[in-house]
Amino acid sequence: MGKISLYGLDASPPTRACLLTLKALDLPYEYIFVNLFEKENYGEEYSKKNPQHTVPMLQDDEAYIWDSHAIMAYLVEKYAASDELYPKDLLQRAKVDQLMHFESGVVFEAALRRLTRPVLFYGEPTLPQKQVDHVNQIYDFVESFLEHDYLAGDHLTIADFSLVSTITSIGVFLELDLAKYPKIEAWLERLKELPYYEEANGSGATQFVNLLKSKNFTVVP
């Protein structure tokens, strides 16, 4: 086995999705903090390794991979004893992939990043109500996806890791009304039972929420 390093920071949801995967697989790794606020991800060294400048980034010996979904899939394919977290069965895998594309395009990019960037990086004091309301649609989607105990079926997959990282963060913009979303509530409870949940996602999600709250942004019509 090669040496694995994960570049990222706990407040970053996709970094946490990868931490959950590393912990689930019980893989030894070095965790390298990347200070986005000091623009370390735009430094010469980092840019050579990841020209998209994003975290997380995985280093496996001499190889560099970025995008949390690609990283999680790679880790399971290469190191897992079974394919449970990322099934080889074509249909089951398609279900996991469709959820990860949903997380990437609809949840992270179109909602979470769109709301976070102006407040966190550009000091924007307000956010438009319409953009915030969009979060409701995401909660509706996830509730409707949850036909089983886990998102892609009756067992845990990397799609759960991906979506739990963003769903536990986006509430800082529009709180998740648990009474309205009982399936999401039960799913979150299930994930919180994982012995590595708090270390890999819980504490980082709290950091993210507190960071955003410290900016005192308001939502305007």
Ligand X SMILES: N[C@@H](CCC(=O)N[C@@H](CS)C(=O)NCC(=O)O)C(=O)O
Q: Retrieve residue 85's tokens.
A: 């977290």
With CB under 6 A as the contact rule, the residue among 4, 10, 41, 138 that binds ligand X is 41
Closest CA to 201 of 162, 175, 172, 148: 162
Q: Which is nearer to ligand X, 181 or 202 (CB)?
A: 202
Count of residues near ligand X by CB under 6 A = 15
Q: Angle CA(95)–CA(55)–CA(217) in degrees, nearest 5?
A: 95
With CB under 6 A as the contact rule, the residue among 10, 16, 20, 56 that binds ligand X is 56
With CB under 6 A as the contact rule, the residue among 4, 6, 14, 76 that binds ligand X is 14
With CB under 6 A as the contact rule, the residue among 19, 36, 163, 172 that binds ligand X is 36
Of 11-19, 20-28, 82-90, 188-196, the window that binds ligand X (rule: CB under 6 A) is 11-19
| Residues numbered 165-194 forming contacts with ligand X, rule: CB under 6 A | none
Closest separation in Å from C-beta 1 to ligand X: 23
Q: Angle CA(203)–CA(180)–CA(218) in degrees, nearest 5?
A: 60
With CB under 6 A as the contact rule, the residue among 53, 93, 183, 215 that binds ligand X is 53
Contacts of residue 185, Cβ cutoff 8 Å, sequence gap at least 6: 178
Q: What is the DSSP letter of 42?
A: G
Q: Angle CA(155)–CA(69)–CA(158) in degrees, nearest 5?
A: 10
Closest CA to 102 of 72, 139, 65, 131: 139
**Sites of contact with ligand X (CB under 6 A):** 12-14, 36, 41, 53-56, 67-69, 104, 108, 113
